[in-house]
């Protein structure tokens, strides 16, 4: 294993930089969580917009998704941080603001598609039944369609959370002091690359592991009471 050139005393060096790594974890986690919540809210609106029959709602939503899903996140980050925000506010608002904006806008595009697909996966009959019981479309959506659709959205939305955490590392180009930044500083100061980047990988792995656990907990919570309608009725339907 000649290529695996790890110097064990380097872990001590990394320990000296622990303050940077700890701050990096804090920044990576807070960036991810804030962007995720914002992306979820915005994604819900955009996703509904894509389902709308009104053209003025449908087309902006469609182009929004096309743009943010069709261009690289790295380009969006650079565009927002170095051009859009200074253009609007006259000055930069710091990497954190730019980071949250870029990540949540990008994430919203993916969430919108997840939400749209989730809602469309609910059988048409559900809405028709609710409507014939006298519910308005909005109430039927809120009480009948969304609760069912949400169960199906949980796994892909969980994926999106983990992807977002990893994508936040791209913010290093605008000097975000996240986990990758801490690793890069150690690598630059010591000219050693194995240990600092292994450390970075381990930290991201720990975070995604915790998030993965969280997601599967949420998934279980939502699926406990859920028995698919078709499966429950399959025998009674056949017998009748």
Residues 84-103 that bind other proteins (CB under 8 A): 85-86, 90-95
Q: How distant, in Å, are the alpha carbons of 19, 93, 185, 197 from that of 24?
A: 8, 19, 11, 14
19 or 224: CB nearest other proteins: 19
**Residue 17 beta carbon to other proteins: minimum distance, rounded to whole angstroms:** 7
Q: Shortest approach of other proteins to residue 168 CB, angstroms?
A: 15
Which residues does 183 contact at the CB level (< 8 Å), separation at least 6? 21, 196, 197, 199, 200
* 200 counts as binding other proteins under rule CB under 8 A: no
Number of residues assigned to the chain: 240
**Is residue 74 part of the contact set for other proteins (CB under 8 A)?**
no
Site string for other proteins, 123-162 (x = CB under 8 A): ----------------------------------------
- By CB under 8 A, what part of segment 178-197 binds other proteins? 181, 184-185, 187-191, 193
| Shortest distance in whole angstroms from residue 11 CB to other proteins | 18
**Pairwise CA distance, residues 197 & 205, whole Å:** 12
Q: How many CA atoms lie within 13 A of 119 on its CB side?
A: 22
Question: Does residue 204 interact with other proteins by CB under 8 A?
Answer: no
The one-character DSSP state at 171 is G
Tell me: does residue 175 bind other proteins (CB under 8 A).
yes
The Cβ-side half-sphere exposure at 237, using a 13 Å CA radius, reads 6
Contact 183, 200 (CB under 8 A): yes
Q: Which stretch binds other proteins (CB under 8 A): 16-24, 46-54, 126-134, 211-219?
A: 16-24
The verdict on 225 binding other proteins (CB under 8 A) reads no
Nearest distance in Å: CB 201, other proteins: 16
CA distance 4 to 18: 24
Q: Which residues bind other proteins (CB under 8 A)?
A: 17, 19-20, 23, 82, 85-86, 90-95, 172-175, 177, 181, 184-185, 187-191, 193
């Amino acid at each position: 294993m000649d290529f695996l050139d790890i110097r064990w005393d380097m872990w001590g060096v990394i320990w000296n930089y622990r303050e940077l790594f700890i701050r990096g974890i804090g920044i990576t986690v807070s960036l991810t969580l804030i962007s995720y919540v914002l992306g979820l809210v915005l994604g819900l609106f955009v996703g509904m917009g894509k389902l709308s029959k009104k053209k003025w709602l449908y087309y902006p939503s469609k182009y929004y998704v096309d743009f943010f899903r069709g261009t690289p996140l790295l380009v969006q980050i650079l565009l927002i941080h170095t051009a859009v925000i200074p253009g609007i506010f006259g000055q930069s608002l710091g990497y954190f603001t730019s980071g949250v904006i870029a990540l949540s806008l990008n994430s919203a595009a993916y969430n919108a598609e997840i939400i749209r697909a989730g809602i469309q996966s609910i059988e048409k009959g559900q809405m028709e039944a609710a409507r014939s019981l006298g519910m308005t479309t909005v109430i039927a959506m809120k009480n009948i369609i969304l609760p069912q659709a949400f169960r199906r959205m949980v796994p892909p939305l969980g994926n999106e959370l983990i992807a977002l955490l990893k994508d936040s590392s791209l913010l290093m180009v605008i000097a975000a002091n996240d986990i990758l930044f801490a690793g890069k500083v150690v690598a630059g100061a010591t000219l050693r690359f194995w240990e600092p980047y292994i450390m970075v990988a381990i930290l991201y792995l720990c975070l995604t592991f915790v998030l993965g656990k969280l997601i599967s907990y949420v998934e279980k919570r939502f699926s406990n009471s859920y028995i698919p309608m078709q499966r429950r009725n399959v025998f009674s339907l056949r017998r009748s």
